[in-house]
Chains A and B, each alone.
Chain A
Amino acid sequence: MAGTIAARPARTTLAFTRPIAEPRPVRVILIGVALGFLLVFLFLPLIAVFVQAFAGGIGLYLRSISDPTALHAIKLTLLTAAIAVPLNTIFGVSAAWAIGKFEFRGKSVLVTLIDLPFAVSPVVSGLIYVLLFGLQGWLGPWLREHDIQIIFAVPGIVLATMFVTFPFVARELIPLMQAQGTEEEQAARMLGANGWQTFWYVTLPNIKWGLLYGVILCNARAMGEFGAVSVVSGHIRGRTNTMPLHVEILYNEYNFVAAFAVASLLALLALATLAAKSAVEARTGPKTPAAPFIASR
């Protein structure tokens, strides 16, 4: 008897949802198309990377990624990210702080400039640096006189990476900070907090999840950037090759196993990024549980 009673409301619910739901075949087709697309264009390539990487057995795989030039490429990639990500984080937070919390002349110009690296092809970004710092570039003669090498060296790679990953943190934080307004900051100032305390105790905790999200995306792009870095690096093996460039060189030499072995590391990074991103997204509401009904009176 109890079972019948329980079943009834469920049926009612179904009847209510039906008018806004699509017919079953349409739903199956839509979901099927979406999943099929994901399978063919995202999941299969990912599997292929790992299959190729381990095609010569685990021993060859390990040897491929512990090859000195591969290790150097990994180190250089980590170094580049370690410089570019913190700097872009600082820049992104300050830009978002300025744009989200203050009114000033030229604000819209600044917002447009922040988006520039997204709008420009990475190759062009790389060429800008060659034009600026290359031997024939504007600053080339001066740099040569002072024995500073930027293009075809690590500084150029870091600069190009920074340019390309410039917008990630700022883009993530600007809408968030604008939505949060300035009242909490004003309240903090009224209570006697100085600028730094206001930022550290009030602004930063409110944006920390958005910030982390931006940093994760920025890091993923910093490690994976190919186009701009390719232009300024010069592809000197063991000296100016980052992981993506190293993969390309190995591939062009028909060294598929080694190429895919290094590529698998980048793929792993992508997976780790996605996992971290989902973890952050799951927590976007900070430690305050969204339960306004708990203590309504």
Chain B
Amino acid sequence: MSITVRNISKTFGTYAALRNVDLDVGTGELVALLGPSGSGKTTLLRIIAGLDQPDPGSGTILFQDEDVASRPVGERRVGFVFQHYALFRHMSVFENVAFGLRVRPRSERQPAAEIAARVRALLALVQLEGLADTYPSQLSGGQRQRVALARALAVEPRVLLLDEPFGALDAKVRVELRRWLRRLHDELHVTSVFVTHDQEEALEVADRVVVMDHGRIEQVGTPDEVYNRPASPFVYQFLGSVNRFHGRVQNGRTYLGGHELGEVEDAGVEAGTAVGFVRPHEIEIVRCADGRPSLAARVLSAHSAGPMARVRLAREDTGEPVEALLSRDRFDQLSLQTGERVHIVLQRVRIFAGIAPDGASVAPP
């Protein structure tokens, strides 16, 4: 069941939570809505679910080819997992999962024995067989999360929506549970959308990542695409750490500290300011530049616990901080000293024109 979102806007009072959002989710896909808080990702999820209504006349939402905008929540057949699970606190785990099956109109309702069998099967699927008779308050966060998932799956939803599914869990359980969710999705293949503010989570779990900011979609792509080929400065900065180098554009070429950096992404910009984005692992530290374009910098500190070494430097010309990520071997080979003068070579730079040195967009992207 595919989801098509067309031109959806949502305003709360004067605050625009979503502005003309378009989104396509393919059948069986697992898509992450990623963004900082206030980016509109949860609003979009709730509108898809039918828990919130888009602005009147603002657009449509299709499940496959059916317009669901006017269908009430209960008829959309959407499985929704709430951030804080919203389990029925006075019902046992079994009753929670059975709820969606038991409230069906008499004509559609399965016999009690069938419902019980289905609930048992779901509890087995989420690995909670032994806990059917316990109450939500007796469960750990990870267990509650899985009950919420089983409850949502019980009604055989056409799409599964999850709001910050791992937000309330501690770090270790989070990682385990998100891998488990990925495996579960590979088994069930139900079209799923989840909201997260954690880029690592989105990149690891999702087939495709939708990066949102200020009520707009900044980029949609595979984790590899959004991480390695960010479409905007925002996506660059939001996904992973990044170094910024300010330069100038002249005749379509960018110059930085006397060196030419390369072509600007935005074709058509002839002159003005530009910012080059470089990931820490795309910076090479050398003692001798060998004629390659490089910048002089001093080593401030090095953090070498773990498989990679993180080196903090300061540019000699501007004093701006630069972070580089080196392999263990390279780091040992260099044996950098604090305060030492080195050269940094930018191996891969992505340049966005029209950005003032303070980071604000001069022209809207």
User: When chains A and B are docked, how far (Å) is the Cα of A220 from the Cα of B151?
Assistant: 42
Contact status B99-A188, CB under 8 Å: yes
Contact status B103-A187, CB under 8 Å: no
Minimal beta-carbon separation of B49 from chain A (angstroms)? 7
Minimal beta-carbon separation of A222 from chain B (angstroms)? 29
Instruction: Indicate which residue in B86, B87, B137 contacts A292 across the interface (CB closer than 8 Å).
Output: B137
**Stretch touching chain A among B29-37, B61-69, B72-80, B256-264:** B72-80
Interface string of B215-242 (1 = CB under 8 A from A): 0000000000000000000000000000
Contact status A191-B155, CB under 8 Å: yes
Closest to B49 in A: A190
User: When chains A and B are docked, how far (Å) is the Cα of A215 from the Cα of B136?
Assistant: 28
Contact status B51-A296, CB under 8 Å: no
Contact status A295-B140, CB under 8 Å: yes
Contact status B134-A190, CB under 8 Å: no
> Does A294 count as interface, using CB distance less than 8 angstroms?
yes
Interface string of A254-297 (1 = CB under 8 A from B): 00000000000000000000000000000000111111101111
> Does A112 count as interface, using CB distance less than 8 angstroms?
no
Contact status A183-B140, CB under 8 Å: no
Instruction: Indicate which residue in B51, B90, B139, B143 contacts A286 across the interface (CB closer than 8 Å).
Output: B90
Contact status B104-A192, CB under 8 Å: yes
User: When chains A and B are docked, how far (Å) is the Cα of A294 from the Cα of B143?
Assistant: 13
Closest to A186 in B: B51
Given contacts A190-B51, A190-B80, A192-B155, contact A294 B86 (CB under 8 A): no
Enumerate B106-146 residues with CB–CB distance to A below 8 Å: 131, 134-140, 143
Enumerate A153-199 residues with CB–CB distance to B below 8 Å: 183-184, 186-194, 197
> Does B82 count as interface, using CB distance less than 8 angstroms?
yes
Minimal beta-carbon separation of A37 from chain B (angstroms)? 39
User: When chains A and B are docked, how far (Å) is the Cα of A188 from the Cα of B102?
Assistant: 11
Closest to A187 in B: B86
Q: Which residues of B contact A184 (CB under 8 A)?
A: 86-89
> Does B321 count as interface, using CB distance less than 8 angstroms?
no
Minimal beta-carbon separation of A190 from chain B (angstroms)? 5
> Does A202 count as interface, using CB distance less than 8 angstroms?
yes
Contact status B138-A294, CB under 8 Å: yes
Contact status B140-A193, CB under 8 Å: no
Contact status B131-A191, CB under 8 Å: no
Q: Which residues of A contact B152 (CB under 8 A)?
A: 190-191
Given contacts A184-B88, A202-B88, contact A191 B138 (CB under 8 A): no
> Does A201 count as interface, using CB distance less than 8 angstroms?
yes
Interface string of B130-173 (1 = CB under 8 A from A): 01001111111001000000011011000000000000000000
Q: Which residues of B contact A287 (CB under 8 A)?
A: 90, 135
> Does B84 count as interface, using CB distance less than 8 angstroms?
yes
User: When chains A and B are docked, how far (Å) is the Cα of A290 from the Cα of B89?
Assistant: 11
Contact status A191-B89, CB under 8 Å: no
Count of interface residues, chain B, beta-carbon cutoff 8 Å: 34
Given contacts A206-B89, A295-B138, A296-B140, contact A183 B99 (CB under 8 A): no
Minimal beta-carbon separation of B129 from chain A (angstroms)? 13
> Does B272 count as interface, using CB distance less than 8 angstroms?
no
Contact status B139-A205, CB under 8 Å: no
Of the candidates A184, A188, A192, A291, the one having the most CB atoms from chain B within 10 angstroms of its own CB is A192
> Does B100 count as interface, using CB distance less than 8 angstroms?
yes
Contact status A183-B84, CB under 8 Å: yes
Minimal beta-carbon separation of B190 from chain A (angstroms)? 15
Q: Which residues of B contact A206 (CB under 8 A)?
A: 89-90
Q: Which residues of B contact A292 (CB under 8 A)?
A: 137-138
Minimal beta-carbon separation of A169 from chain B (angstroms)? 20
Q: Which residues of B contact A297 (CB under 8 A)?
A: 140
Contact status A193-B74, CB under 8 Å: yes
Closest to B108 in A: A192
Q: Which residues of B contact A193 (CB under 8 A)?
A: 74, 99-100, 103
Q: Which residues of A contact B51 (CB under 8 A)?
A: 186, 190
Instruction: Indicate which residue in B103, B135, B137 contacts A191 across the interface (CB closer than 8 Å).
Output: B103
Minimal beta-carbon separation of A103 from chain B (angstroms)? 11
Of the candidates A183, A206, A287, the one having the most CB atoms from chain B within 10 angstroms of its own CB is A183
Minimal beta-carbon separation of A176 from chain B (angstroms)? 13
User: When chains A and B are docked, how far (Å) is the Cα of A286 from the Cα of B91?
Assistant: 10
Minimal beta-carbon separation of B157 from chain A (angstroms)? 9
Contact status A191-B140, CB under 8 Å: no
User: When chains A and B are docked, how far (Å) is the Cα of A202 from the Cα of B136?
Assistant: 14
User: When chains A and B are docked, how far (Å) is the Cα of A81 from the Cα of B79?
Assistant: 46
Interface residues of A (CB under 8 A from B): 183-184, 186-194, 197, 201-202, 205-206, 286-292, 294-297
Can you give 19 A-B contacts (C-beta < 8 A)? A183-B82, A183-B84, A184-B87, A184-B88, A186-B80, A187-B82, A187-B87, A191-B152, A191-B155, A192-B100, A192-B103, A193-B99, A193-B103, A197-B103, A201-B103, A206-B89, A288-B90, A289-B135, A294-B134
5 tightest A-B contacts by CB?
A191-B100, A183-B86, A288-B135, A193-B103, A187-B86
Known: A190-B152, A205-B91. 4 other contacts (CB 8 A): A192-B75, A192-B155, A295-B131, A295-B139
